[in-house]
Amino acid sequence: MEHSENNSPSREPEWTVPLRDRLRANERLAPYTTLKIGGPAEWYYPAETTTQLIGAVRTARQAGVPFLLLGDGSNVLISDKGIRGLVIHNRAAAIERRDDSLFAEAGAKLSDLVERTRVEALTGLEFAAGIFGTVGGAIFGNAGAYGKSMADILAWVEILSEQDEVRRVGPAQMGFAYRLSACDARKWLVLSCEVRLAPGDPGAIGAEIDRILAVRATKLPSTEPSAGSYFKNIEDSSAEHGKIPAGQLLEAVGAKSLNVGGAAVYPRHANVIINRGGATAADVLELAAQMKARVRARYGIELQSEVRFLGEPL
């Protein structure tokens, strides 16, 4: 973790007073992302509890300060120029069993929730083994694999609305679709959730989790920084699980040979961009543009990014 005082605001704005105990200026964000790329946050606030998270959001809204929630930094590409306003780092990560369900705060890692199902002998979440990100991020983007997604297992989601109301909503209200929920359009912030599971054989649950992790280990980098799959798969009802893998198309057009600066396509998976060292957000964006161009030229398909670019335009 790095903290720089360079270019700190010469005068602390009045709105920062309620957050002063944890607030930091010009905090470099690269260490908080899985790609290890990103400039500084103008203001950075690590929220260790849901109460702190809600307080920070309400403070920013009341002061008219732009803010952004950051989870574990996967599936995002942060601008080299950083992010203006307040970055709230959600570290509220409690997980607990409730009958045959698991409650989880949004800042909990999805991988930790999966491992908890192994311990509790609860089945239904095995498909999520090895998926990057937090529970909140998984809900926001309706993460999934093997034909299943978060939409299939959620009992309810607790959100903070644009009007600062804490509400519990059901899956039907979440507007789930492929890699999509209503959170973005309605400006809902995920606070916590309950996933509906079922008792199962602990040996079978553990074996399935391990099998999926082993498969993912052959495709995803274990040492090089990455954001996971960069592009969304292409929806096609005639394909297996209703999707054509973007990696399949990228492989066919020779994307694995591409690199820009410190960014390169991962040799084992054509839909993964890695940081070989010193990569910038500009490198990644240029590389992604070249990957898209090759698929467009060959197949007439416009790939859509699954990784979200955050921060100041480059």
Is 284 buried (19+), middle (13-18) or exposed (0-12) by CB count in 10 A?
A: buried
d(C-alpha 225, C-alpha 263), whole Å: 10
What are the CA-CA distances from residue 310 to residues 27, 132, 181, 288, 307 (Å)?
Answer: 15, 18, 18, 15, 10
Q: Out of 42, 158, 194, 306, which one is annotated catalytic? A: 306
Is 185 buried (19+), middle (13-18) or exposed (0-12) by CB count in 10 A?
A: exposed
- Classify strands 308-310 and 76-78 as parallel, antiparallel or unpaired: parallel
| Residue 179 is among the residues annotated as catalytic for this protein | yes
Q: Which residues pair with 89 in a beta bridge?
A: 46, 70
What are the CA-CA distances from residue 197 to residues 98, 107, 120 (Å)?
Answer: 10, 20, 10
| Residue 169 CB coordination number (10 Å) | 18
Q: Out of 28, 91, 118, 179, which one is annotated catalytic? A: 179
The set of catalytic residues is 179, 229, 306
